[in-house]
Every structure is written in structure tokens, then in C-alpha cells.
Structure 1
Amino acid sequence: MRRKTIKAQTAATEELMNQPKTAAAAIARINPFMYGLLGALGVLVALVLGGIVDQLATVLVYIGVAIFLALGLDPIVTWIERKLPRPAAVAIVVSVVVLAFAGILLAIVPILVEQISNLIKDGPKMVQDFMASDWFKSISEQFGSTFDDAAQGVLSFIQDPGNILNISGGVFAVGAGIAGGFTGVTIVLILTLYFMASLRSMKKVSARFVPAYQRETFSGLLEDVSGAVGRYVMGQASLALINGILSLIMLTIIGAPVPALLALIAFIGSMIPLVGTLSASIINSLICLIVSPITALIAFIYYLVYMQIEAYVLSPRIMNKAVAVPGALVVIAAVAGGALGGILGALVAIPVAASIIIIVQKVVFPTQDAKVVPPGTLSER
């Protein structure tokens, strides 16, 4: 009887042991299918998210530029806030920015339309006068008939009414692009207004995503990063404003065509690190060729001198106070940002580099310094 009881218990135990193995085998057979299905769903979700991001790329760029401008204008708002409430300070800053933008449009657009109309109407005569100049004759004598044939081809192109219509169509296309750009600028200004008004609340909400015991450190780090971005934007805007004002004065003195437009080109170019000032200087000097080669030469010499002063006098004094980034990292960040995101990438690359440096100095380095070798380890022996 006892043996039968032992055998029954053994059989029951084996049956219980076999049941989990059978379930595990069934799960093992099901898992590859489930893993494949989940993987396929993950890829599908990633593709859908990628498509959404691609469709919203323009909107995301607007939001990024608006946040960048809000952080850049926040130091001015903070300074005005010492005497006035924050809503009034935000309203003053936004009003000044909108009035400046409207003033630029009112000063540039009518002149630009007039100059384009005159260029279409007087283009053939300008080419004939250019070909009759002593400078053109000397170049023709130096290079022979090839240069003269090329000039005649340009004159024939301009005199053809069909080509004039093509040029007009291109001008209309440029006008449509300008209208689209104006719409984008308007959206960015509106978003900048909202972001400036709610910047502090946005920072507080961002801190809520961090555990409570780390919020104080995170808030301090966020303030340092936003301050670095703001100081960089103000420093770069100061350099661009200096270049724009000096360009307007110089180009007006030498009689350059549309000096206000060329000054705006110089201002926009100076907002782009490294290559912006050089590119704008070359463009303005080439446009001055419309007046005379001497005017273009004077403009080129002026910009050559100005770039040296900006590189060795203005930029170190302004940007060292704005954001402390080593020179090598400035070059690397600007080139990498331009390669990844074009002009916008080059604009935000240096403040991003400054933010990374701040994070490394205040998070990574203290963490590494706190890692001390325990006593009695092999390294101390």
C-alpha cells in the first residue's frame, strides 16, 4: 500500500513538472511570431512618425526659430522688467521688433520694386552703355573676340521680348517666394510673442518632467543654458547691426545702388557665423559693379578692412561676454550645423555648443569628480 502511494505521488509530481514545460514550449513556439509582429508594428509606427515629422518640418522650423528668438530677446525683457511688469516689457520688446521689421519692409520693398522695373525697362541701354565704356573696350582688346561675342549674346538676350517675359515670370516667382517668406516671418513673430510671454511657465513645466530631488539642479542648468543662448543671440545681433549701419553709411557715400537693400544683405549675412559676413561682402561688392568697377573696388576694400576689425576687435569683445566657446569648437560647430541644417543649423550651432559645454561642466565633470577610488583597492597599493 505504501509503495502504491509513493508511485502515485511520483506520477503526480512528474505530471505537474511536465505541465510548465509544455506551456513553456508553447510560449517558445509563439514568441517568434509575436516578436516579429511587434517588430513590424514598431517599424510601421516609426514610418508613420517619420512621415508626420516630414509633413510638419516647416512648422517645427517655425517653432524652433521662435523659441530661439524668444530666448535671445529674454535678456532685454528681463532688463525692462526691473522697472515695468513682465507683460508690459514683453509688449515693448515685441512692438520694437515689429516696428523695425515694418520699417525695413517700407524702406526696402518700394525701392526694390522700382529697381527691378527700371532694370527690365532700361536693361538694353545699360548693356549698350557698358559696352561703350573704356573699361569694356580695354577688356575686349585684351581677351579678343570671345569676350565681345559673349557681350553681344547678353545684349541679344535682353532685347528679345520673349526673354523679357521669361524674366518677368521669374520676377513673379520671386515675388511669390517673398510673399511666402513674409507669411513665415509673421508666424514666427506671433509664436515669439507667445513664447516670450510664457517662457517662465514653460521652464517650470519642463522641470515637472524631472524627479523632485533633481528639479533644483535641472532648473539651474536650464537657466544657464537659456542664458547662454540669449547672450549669443544678442551678441550676434549686435555684430550684425554694426555691420548693417556702417554698410549703409559707406555705401551711401560711394553712391552704391540701393544702399538700404545692400545694408540689409550685410545685416542678414552677419547673423550667419564664419561665412556670413564674407558672403554678404562679396555679394554687395559685385552689385556695386553696376555703377562702376571703381565703386566695387572701394566697397571690396572697405569690407576687407571691416572683416579684420570684426574678427580681431569687435567679435572677441562682444562674443566673449556673450558665450564662452573655444575658437576651434566655434568653427567645428558652425561647419557641422551648416552641413546638417543649412543656414538655420549654422545659426543655432554655436549656442548649442555652448549649452553642451555648460552641461558637461555642471553635470558630467562633478559626477566624474565624485567617483573616488575606495580605500584598500588595488590601485592604491
Structure 2
Amino acid sequence: MSEGPQDAKAAAPQARTATGHAETAGEHVDERQLGPQEEYGTQGAPFERRSPFYLGFFGALGALLAYFLWSAIMGIGSTLILIVVSLFLAAGLNPSVEALERRGLRRSWAVTAVITAFLAAVALFVVAIVPVITDQVTAITKSAPEWLEQLQKNRQIQKLDDEYDIISKIQDYVANGDFVSGIFGGVLGVGLKILGALFNAFIILVLTLYFLSSLEKTKQAFYRLAPASRRSRVALLGDQIIRNVGGYVSGAFIVALCAGISTLVFLFIVGLGQYAVALAFVVALLDVIPMIGATLGAVVVTAIATATDIKTGIFCAIFFLIYQQVENYLIYPRVMSKSVDLPGAVIVIAALIGAGLLGVVGALLAIPTAAAIMLILREVVVRRQDAR
């Protein structure tokens, strides 16, 4: 008769005991007859994941990993800024490529045409405009001491100068070149800053052209990271965000161009033609900065015009006061209506946060970023809440 289950269970300890006696006695035991638990011991209970040691160890390990990643990101922060700026510029040039595609041109040829036009514009600016700006900036620097002397005729300024000797200090500071040296850290610092700016401009130019030529492939690569069930919706939202960014970049360029051309024409009319190109370029460049850019440009031009002639300064103040109202209520809404549809409070808050995080670059990128966040909130979060 065969043994029952109870007899087998009772025989198992005896077999293990016999095995142990056999090994003690020096007899050979076949290891294949032993199970894994008998060979290495019985497996214990799993480690308690709620224990303080477990939580503390892996929590500290995660914190160290996060700190390492944050340090790495901060170390390449300047490179990341160049990449982000290049992406925004590529998105700004993409509407021109799409416009050529709608006219029947292949994307490769459309990208080539836009890149050629962009490089031609940059080369024309460097060859034709930069020497004029350099000459006019030099003329402004040479005339600055004379303008400071004229300020001494003002009674209030003369009182301040008698007490604190302000005018003479500023005059010596500008005339001796300490102004430039103080900003850039001496002659060597000036050279290094110029080389650094040219290198960054070259990197941005190369990355912009690369991102523009491979924008479609880059988008598709990012879209494939989304689940297949949501990929089409992610692609639609992503394309809309890119269109918003491109519309904002091109719109900001148009607004700044209008400001620069208007300032150039006005300065020639009021008799400041010797400084018109340089000052108009400063106004156009500063006008790209949200909120405060146009005001800073107006202050710079008005101050220089006032130093040359009081009446010209008054005319400049009136002109910029009127032009900023036209730009804020007529030009900017018409240009930006299709790309950035944000409340005024959101624009101000986004610009302040961006400027606080990344300075001028952050202020430039804040508004399209806020528009993208608002689009995601409206199309994803709000719709999900409405469906409940």
C-alpha cells in the first residue's frame, strides 16, 4: 500500500535528519535531491517597506539624486538658454516656411529659401547698419561730456552738483572711459565680452537653422513619447503651441520694427539725424522686452535729445507718449491677436516671473510660455473637470 499524505509529512523531517547524519558521517549526498530551500536555507519574509530605515534611506537617496540633477542643470544653464532661444527663433521663422509650403513649395526648398533670406538679412545688417551704429555710438560718447556741462545750467542740478559734485564726477567717468571699463571689467573684459557675445550669436544662429530644418522630425519624435490613444490630441495641442510661439516671435519682431522705423523717421524730422540710426536701433531692440522695453527706449532717446536741445527733448517725450498709446492699443493687439490671447494681468505676472528667473531672456519667453500653459489648462484640465 502507498503511504498517505500524513505519513509523507511525518517522513520528511526524518529524511532531513537522516541526510544531516549522513553528511556528518562523511557519506556522499546527492545535491540534486535537495530543494532550493534546503540548500540555501528557508527564504525569510520580505523587507518591510514602511520601516523608518527603508523610507529614510531611499528618501535620502532620492534627495541626493535630485540635488545632483539640479546641479547638472545649473551647470549647463547658459547652454540651455541658448537652446531655448534657438527653438523660439526657429518657431518664429516656421510660419514663413509654412506660408511657402501653402504656395506649393516643398518643405526642404521652403526651409532653404527662408534660411537664405535670414542669412542675407543678417549679413546686410552687419555690413550696412553696424558701422553706422558704431560711428553714432562713438559720436554720442564724445558728446556726452558736453551735454553734462549743459546740464549744469539747470538750477536744481547745479545745487546738487555744488553739494555732491555729481556732474564733474560723471564727466570724468565718461571722458576717461571708466564707464565702459566699469561695466565690462577693463579692456580685456571688453574683448572677452565681445568674443563671448559673437560666439553665442553664432551658436544661436546655427541651432536656429538646424531646428528649423528638422522641426517636423523633432515634433514627431516628441509626439511619439505620448501614448497611442492620446497621441493625436497631443499632436494637435503641440502644433497649436508652436504656432502660438511662432506668431508671438514674428509679431514681436514686427512691433519692434514699427517702433524702430517710427523713431528713425521722427529723429530725422526733429534734427537728430546724426544719431538717428543708433537710437532707433536701441528703441527697436528694447521694444522687444515686454512691459518696460518701450519705456526704457523712450527714456534713453529723450535724455539724449534733452541734452542736445530742450525743445527737442520735449518733442521726443510727447512723441513717445503718443506712440506708446498707439502701440499698446492699436499695433500690439492687431499683431498679437492671433498668437497670444491673454489677459493683461497674466501678461504682467508672466513677464515679472520670467524676468525674475532668467532676466531679459526670461521676460521675452514668458508670454508665449504663459500662452502655452493657458492653452493646456483650457483644453485639458478644464475639459476634464467639466466632464465630471
- TM-score, length-normalised on structure 1? 0.79
Aligned to 2:88: 68
1:178 aligns with 2:199: no
Match of 1:216 in 2: 232
- Of the structure 1 ranges 354-363 and 166-175, higher mean CA displacement relative to structure 2 is found in 166-175
Partner of 2:297: 280
Match of 2:21 in 1: none
Q: Name which of structure 1's ranges 291-300 and 183-192 shifts more when overlaid on structure 2.
A: 291-300
Aligned: 1:90 with 2:111: yes
Q: Distance in 2 between matches of 1:351 and 1:162?
A: 40
Question: What is the identity, as a one-letter code, of the residue corresponding to 2:96?
Answer: I
Which residues of 2 match residues 148-159 of structure 1 at below 5 A? 149-155=165-171
Q: 1:187 aligns with which of 198, 203, 209?
A: 203
Taking the aligned partners of 1:297 and 1:34, their CA distance within structure 2 comes to: 72
Structure 1, 32-41 or 239-248: larger mean CA deviation = 32-41
Calculate percent identity across the aligned residue pairs: 34
Amino acid at match of 1:54: M
Match of 1:358 in 2: 375
Q: Within 1, Cα distance between the matches of 2:154 and 2:282? A: 32
CA distance in structure 2 between the partners assigned to 1:118 and 1:169 by the alignment: 23
Q: Deviations over 1:223-252 (max 9, x none)?
A: 111111112222222111111111111123
Report how many residues are paired. 356
What code does the residue aligned with 1:79 have? Answer: A
- SS of 2:342's equivalent in the other structure is coil
Residue 318 (str. 1) matches residue 338 (str. 2): no
> For residues 267 and 144 of structure 1, what CA distance do their matches in structure 2 show?
34
Structure 1: unaligned runs, 5 residues or longer: 372-381
Q: 1:110 aligns with which of 131, 134, 137?
A: 131
CA shift for structure 1 position 178: 2.9
Give the letter aligned to residue 93 of structure 1.
V
Which secondary structure does the structure 1 equivalent of 2:231 belong to? helix
State which drifts further: 268-277 or 328-337: 328-337
**1:158 and 1:370 mapped to 2: Cα distance?**
66
Tell me: CA distance 1:288–1:165, structure 2 relative to 1, closer, same or farther (3 Å). Answer: closer
SS in 1 for 2:104: coil
Identify the residue that residue 22 of structure 2 maps to in structure 1: none
1:53 matches 2:73? yes
C-alpha spacing 1:91/1:173, structure 2 compared with 1 (3 Å): same
Higher-Rg member (1/2):
2
Distance 1:27 1:162, change over 3 A: closer
Once the 2 structures are TM-superposed, how far is the Cα of residue 163 of structure 1 from its aligned partner? 5.9
1:265 lines up with 2:282 in the alignment: yes
- Check 1:255–1:21 CA distance in 2 against 1; reply closer, same or farther (3 A cut): farther
Partner deviation per Cα, 1:57-92 (whole Å, 9 max, x = no partner):
111111111111111211111001223221221122
Greater alpha carbon shift after TM alignment, 107-116 vs 356-365: 107-116
How has the CA–CA distance of structure 1 residues 305 and 362 changed in structure 2, closer, same or farther, with 3 Å as cutoff? same
Displacement after TM superposition at 1:36 (Å):
4.0
Q: Is the 8 A contact 2:95 2:246 kept in 1?
A: yes
- Structure 2: distance between partners of 1:232 and 1:164: 36
**Structure 2 vs 1, CA of residues 240 and 188 (structure 1 numbering), >3 Å: closer, same or farther?**
same
Query: Gaps (5+ residues) in structure 2?
Result: 1-5, 14-36
**CA shift for structure 1 position 145:** 6.7
Q: Tell me, yes or no, if structure 1 residue 332 matches structure 2 residue 344.
A: no
Which residue identity is paired with 2:241? V
Contact 2:147 2:307 in 1 (8 A): no
